[in-house]
Amino acid sequence: MISPYRLLHFTRCLAVAAILVGSSVNGDDSPPVAEISEADLVHQYRERCDYVIDQTVANTDPNDLTRGSNFTIAANLFRGANLDWARERLRLSNDPPTGAMFWMHPMALLMHVGREELNEDDWAFIRELWRTYFPYRGDTENHWVMYYVSLYLVAEMFPDAGPEAWYNGKSSVEIMADAKEFILDWMRITTSYGQGEYDSPNYIEEYTRPMALLVGWARDPELQQMGKMMMDYILLDYAVENLGGLYGGAHSRLYPRYLLQPGMAHSAAHAWLLWGQGEFSSNGGTLMIAMSGYTPPSILFRIASDRDKAYVHKELKRTRWRFRHAGPNAFEVDGKSTIPVYKYSYVHPDFILGSSQGGLLQPIQQQTWSLVWREENLEGKSNTMFGLQPYSSPIEGTMFFNSDWDTVTDLIARSKVDYDSPDKLEGGSPYEQVFQHEATLIALYNIPEGTRFPLISTLFSRDVNRRVEDESGWIFGQGGPVYIAYRPFAPGEWKPVDWTGLLKGGAGAWFSTGFKELSEGSECLVSYSLKNGYIVEIAPVSAYETYRDFQEAVRALPVEVRLEPTPRVRYTNLDGVKLEAEYGRTPSVDGENVDYSSWKLFDGPFAQAERESQSLEMIYGSERYVLDFKNRSAETSVVESE
């Protein structure tokens, strides 16, 4: 006999399937983005939320007490399902607690959604955990946000609790005051100077999770409102560089598997839940959003989905705080050092080419530039291209981490096992400078003698097809709906993306799991010239009658390269724009220097925000949605057509 719950779940699955089939935003039959009603959007979104929760519950085996995270327990409590299992699993999986803020936030979720289901013994067990387990607050932005939001929300549940109730010896009142101050300060800094851990397809959920907690369960109206606004802000940050669930552009942090297959990243799971793009995948962040009751404003859907026209979108971010070696470009925010990150993305209906200026902008996992292109089915697709100088150094380590010069590299590589490898696929370099104008990207490298890994590497994934090494010096290829032209300034050699010799036995298991499937058939062009660089020129297949036509057009472009004393290139791109870049100097477009001093926090057709404004305007057609963090307000308006 089918249980009522499973029947309900089955019915919901059918509903979601019908909605997904009937209103695919990218399908030929779908209505224009602007014409889908808000009511329909909300209805479809709510169905997907139910589906996310139901899937989690459906995948719970109530006879298996060895599996099930606090997220899973929370989903079951939320639905009132498998309660005996949930109660028992709660005790088994939290004895003892581990993971610091990664334990705190799903526990806070569990406590809130389980209010009605947890009994006195359950609460006694949970309260004892908070009294005795002293979680580390962590060493990076996402850690701190998760830590303080979780702490706030559990203290708010017991507002009269004294210092004896909590691991840190503070009362609930003290905890809430401290945590709230942090949360609001983080929002102020982010909306004034940009996020430090910016635009990560991985770590986006480490921000959406705590914001979902605030939206769903904060009793403090100010924090709930600010949490909702900040969620909108983070999702807008993604939406403007989204292509059917792919998070394009330059990223602060990315793990290798998501570098190679962008469609696997957590951001893709968010795009499915929020905007109905791509395929469903199980994800803690989306589960938390689904249970929180958060509803994204419809303008986010429209911005994330409308790719009728190509556009340039620029953003100003900042580096993670620099403890040491802050450098001449550093500025301070409340006594903490950072430097600006200038992001530039060209978002085309078929692809996104995006970049930052290069340099050490983020420890370990930076992606300075990337290309992603649209694919109908993302499964198994390595629809990306990027380049790097694989740099590792105690300078970088001690810049961002509280660790010693002689141990920092080793300790980083204990968890990020590829950090100290010449074969790695991510990371910033102080010897890399990148400049982009629309679909053209120029990267220059000036690598000193003695650098640990004196090479540069560019990924040509297995899904870059029809590769041609032309006599002209250009390398051509096709990735899905885009043609790629790559002009190296120095010779290189092809090397397979192969970590077989890199991964230590057992170490970095998560890194290496499935790596053969992820990387097989992909190659890197590796060049050992210390003075180096390349041009990347992208064009949609639809712009040329044949592949040959594209190649001929590129061959005809004027390119003037000089590598000594510092790399320099003068180049006219397919649109006839004259670009000039020299290592160590400001690049120019048609003879005019790029003005980094005027870079805004958000600057594109869909979003505008000035530096230090603490506000953001989202734009779609005549609709305006303004987040004003100074006044804690969010307002939608319609402007008269011009």
Contact footprint for another protein (CB under 8 A): 98, 100, 134, 136-139, 144, 148, 163, 167-170, 178-179, 181-182, 185, 323-324, 335-337, 402, 404-407, 411, 414-417, 504, 506-511
Cβ pair 583, 327 in contact under 8 A: no
Residue 417 or 594 having the CB closest to another protein: 417
Q: 530: which DSSP letter?
A: S
Provide the 3-class DSSP secondary structure of residue 107. helix
Q: What dihedral do alpha carbons 453, 458, 461, 467 form, nearest 10°?
A: -130
The closest of 283, 159, 310, 268 to 212, measured between CA atoms, is 283
**DSSP of 220-285:** SHHHHHHHHHHHHHHHHHHHTTEETTEE-S-BS---HHHHH-GGGSHHHHHHHHHH--S-----HH
Q: Kindly state the helix (H) or strand (E) to which residue 624 belongs, with its residue range.
A: strand 623-628
Residue corresponding to tokens 């002293």: 134
Cβ pair 478, 422 in contact under 8 A: no
Contacts of 359 (CB under 8 A, 6+ apart): 339, 428, 429, 430, 432, 433
**Least distance from C-beta 154 to another protein, angstroms?**
16
**DSSP of 282-317:** --HHHHHHHHHT----HHHHHHHH--SS-EEEEEEE
Which residue intervals of 23-82 are DSSP H helices?
38-58, 70-79
Packing angle between helix 38-58 and helix 266-275, nearest 10 degrees? 130
**Least distance from C-beta 489 to another protein, angstroms?**
35
Residue 170 or 424 having the CB closest to another protein: 170
Residue 128 or 379 having the CB closest to another protein: 128
Residue 479 or 508 having the CB closest to another protein: 508
Residue 97 or 480 having the CB closest to another protein: 97
Residue 131 or 578 having the CB closest to another protein: 131
**Phi, psi values for residue 143, rounded to 5°:** -60, -50
Cβ pair 359, 253 in contact under 8 A: no
User: What is the distance in angstroms between the CA of the first residue and the CA of the last residue of the chain?
Assistant: 62
Structure tokens belonging to residue 599: 């870079």
Residue 337 or 370 having the CB closest to another protein: 337
**Buried b / exposed e across 542-552, counting CB within 10 Å, b at 16+?**
eebeeeeebbe
Cβ pair 430, 359 in contact under 8 A: yes
Cβ pair 277, 301 in contact under 8 A: no
Contacts of 94 (CB under 8 A, 6+ apart): 70, 103, 107, 125, 129
**Least distance from C-beta 168 to another protein, angstroms?**
4
C-alpha count within 13 angstroms, C-beta hemisphere, residue 361? 34
Residue 81 or 175 having the CB closest to another protein: 175
**Least distance from C-beta 365 to another protein, angstroms?**
12
Residue 19 or 364 having the CB closest to another protein: 364
Residue 143 or 437 having the CB closest to another protein: 143
**Least distance from C-beta 402 to another protein, angstroms?**
5
Residue 499 or 602 having the CB closest to another protein: 499
Residue 69 or 566 having the CB closest to another protein: 69
* Whole-number Å distance between alpha carbons of 293 and 504: 44
Cβ pair 496, 387 in contact under 8 A: no
Greatest extent of the chain over all pairs of C-alpha atoms, in Å: 79
**Least distance from C-beta 427 to another protein, angstroms?**
16
Residue 121 or 181 having the CB closest to another protein: 181
